[in-house]
Amino acid sequence: MRTMHFIIIGDLIGRRVKAFVDCLKEMDIHNYQVISWLDVLQDISILEKNLKENTIIRIEPPEKDLEIYRLILGFSGEKGGVSSQEIENIDFSNYQIVAPAQWYEGFTLVLEAIDKILSQNNNIYCMNHFKEAIQMMDKSRTYEILEKEVSKYNYKLPVRYKTPDNYEGFVDMYGHKVFKCFIKLRYGSGGTGVIAYKNNPRLGDERIFTSLNYEIVDGNRIFYSNSKVNVYQDKTKIKELLDWVLHNGAHIEDWIPKPAYNGYFFDTRVFVLSQKVQYVISRLSKTPITNLHLKNRRVEDIDFISKDHLENIKLAAEDVMKVYHQSWYAGIDIISSRSGKPYVIDVNPFGDLFHHLLGTDKNIHYLEIKKAVDLIKWWNR
Amino acid sequence: MENMRFYCGYDDEKDVAEQIMEHLDANENCLAEGLMIGCWRDAWECAPSEIIDVIIQNKTKFPNLKSIYLGDMESEDCEISWICHTDTAALINELELESLTVKGATGLRFDAAKSENLKTLVIVSGGMSSKLLGDIARAELPNLEYLELYLGVEDYGFDGNITDVEPFMQKRNFPKLKYLGLKNSEIQDEICEKIIDSDIIDGLDVLDLSLGTLSDKGAKLILDHINKFSHLKKLDLTYNYISDELVEKLEKAFASLNVELLISRDDVYIDEDYEYRFPYITE
């Protein structure tokens, strides 16, 4: 068999590339190459030049390097309304979130271009399925795809609500009754741009929980996400934040009450690889937003979930991956209702980075690498 | 059987009253000593009147019932201040309960409550109305040993003042009280001041002034009248706005008295930009 070769496309400033490469080294695999998103975006032919037979490709999503963000925006060809000149001039020093829908469009085109290159080469194994990954990164599309198949499988979905264009429309639609929902940035990852909203008009009590915030810089509102979930009851703040998310594309779902454990609310991230659950972790938080990177607790020892409910959660996650059957892996976020029904609230195509497992034998990347290597060997048997 | 919990979850078809009836139909009696009543349907709009009625109308079918927790729910289900209640005196008057805990105080009343059996009463809230405080103050509960009131703040329903709280400091109203919690209050310093001069403190084992806005003002009063606290088994000042210096003095003073002092400030959030101080449960 010819030599096996890994290519990892990633963000050199982020943690993901290092996390994966560390596992390769630990497994005594030194035949790998890291290609920065910056290089790919400046000249996509770099990929073609480095492809060999028996290459395993792994895509890590862009993370911290905002120059990558700028280039991906540019890749969209201004489809989202931000011009090339404006993209060039964006000041990312304040970590603002700009035109997420346009970024998504750009990233879709980038992945399609990479996919085209890979399809023209033989004996290349890609750990990601681009088309499905792109679908998963669109929360509304994911919902529609899962909803279409929901009757066949064991997972449930929260009720979805119509999405108005702005806060005024939102109040017209939902302001007359007690209303609790999650307003999610359609093309946001993790907790970015997620607003947990509740309103009791009888008491005049409207409040939101979110890590999204804004500052006014040179007369313009700059929106950004920080690591702390804040509660806002100020009407102006609520309006501004909802307006921004609704304007940038939102997906609105019912608020499923999360179960509580020791004063924390939790949902569960299930990592599925090759159609089998490989890892389960519960994400505990005192706020309604539990995403891992928002400094919440994670608990592996999930004795506080009954066996029946845990089984339902695992079955639901595996069923989600039957719908996304071309994808090798994903992280599925599930809320188990008190009666044990598993509600899927997010599907993350890059949901295999568990920060607390880095540097440990349990790092899920070891399993991914082993299975990918076995697959290449099987191809070459 | 100790406790039984009835709860209407997000996707449960049957509401709590229906679940209780179904249980009684299936088992003839409910042998639980405690009933935990969790979220009922639309708790933010509907008071648990039907649940109370079902229990009262079937009281003979609860032969062992000693305690009820009405509103055992989390903010994910319903914010405390949103939970709707009604006059709940019947649970005290008609049943031989020893303990009643209620979470939420919006619409809650105990009109003409009277019981020889009730030993424990706890109201967990973001704000108790003066009408509700008046009901409890006037209630005939001669054997009450444990009273815990989360008084709360104006924004969430506390519309009274210190005179509404003073009746709970009078021994003649609650002669057997051993645990008094007048807590989670935005007038915690005033409560501290009044309780020092009250006659109820002498009979207490535990005084609970926790989770409120107790500041150096209250701390100094406690230090100046330390002999009034020396007989206590425990003084709970958890979650407070007392300065480091006075916390240290209080810790030293109470260590020498052999009184357990709880004075953690772990969950206190001080906003540098504002002078506001918030009790623990204000949502």
A322 touches chain B (CB under 8 A): no
Say if residue B271's pLDDT is above 70: no
Which residues in chain B are contacts of A341 at CB distance < 8 A? 11
Phi, then psi, of B178 in degrees rounded to 5: -110, -25
Q: Which residue in the set A202, A205, A337 is minimally distant from B9, CB to CB? A: A337
| Token duo for residue A83 | 């011009």
Mean pLDDT, chain A, whole residue set: 92
Is B211 within 8 Å of B264 (Cβ atoms)? Answer: no
Question: DSSP 3-state assignment of B272?
Answer: coil
A41-100 confidence digits (pLDDT tens): 999 999 989 998 889 999 999 988 889 999 999 988 767 688 888 888 888 888 889 999
With the CA atoms of A155, A161, A162 and A166 taken in that order, what torsion angle do they form, in degrees rounded to the nearest 10? -130
Q: Which residue in the set B11, B12, B44 is minimally distant from A178, CB to CB? A: B44
Say if residue B275's pLDDT is above 60: no
CA distances from B264 to B239, B242, B282 (A): 6, 10, 19
In the numeric block, the tokens 């989390």 are attached to B74
What is the torsional sign of CA A311, A314, A316, A322?
Answer: negative
Contact at CB, B11 and A258, closer than 8 angstroms: no
A339 touches chain B (CB under 8 A): yes
Strand order in the sheet with A205-217: A160-161, A250-254, A179-185, A195-200, A205-217, A220-232
Say if residue B17's pLDDT is above 90: yes
Query: In this structure, which amino acid lies at residue A166?
Result: N
A250-278 confidence digits (pLDDT tens): 999 999 999 998 888 999 999 999 999 99
A301-347 confidence digits (pLDDT tens): 677 899 999 999 999 999 999 999 999 999 999 999 988 999 999 99
Which residues in chain A are contacts of B81 at CB distance < 8 A? 203, 205
How many angstroms from the chain centroid is the CA of residue A313?
19
Question: DSSP 3-state assignment of A20?
Answer: helix
Is A345 within 8 Å of A256 (Cβ atoms)? Answer: yes
Q: What is the pTM assigned to this prediction?
A: 0.90
In the numeric block, the tokens 């950004």 are attached to A224
| Token duo for residue A280 | 């389960």
B81 touches chain A (CB under 8 A): yes
Given this model, what pLDDT does residue A6 score?
95
Residue B272: pLDDT band by 50, 70, 90 thresholds?
low
Mean per-residue pLDDT, B256-279: 79
Q: ipTM greater than 0.90, yes or no?
A: no
| Token duo for residue B162 | 């210190």
Contacts of A121 (CB under 8 A, 6+ apart): A48, A51, A53, A55
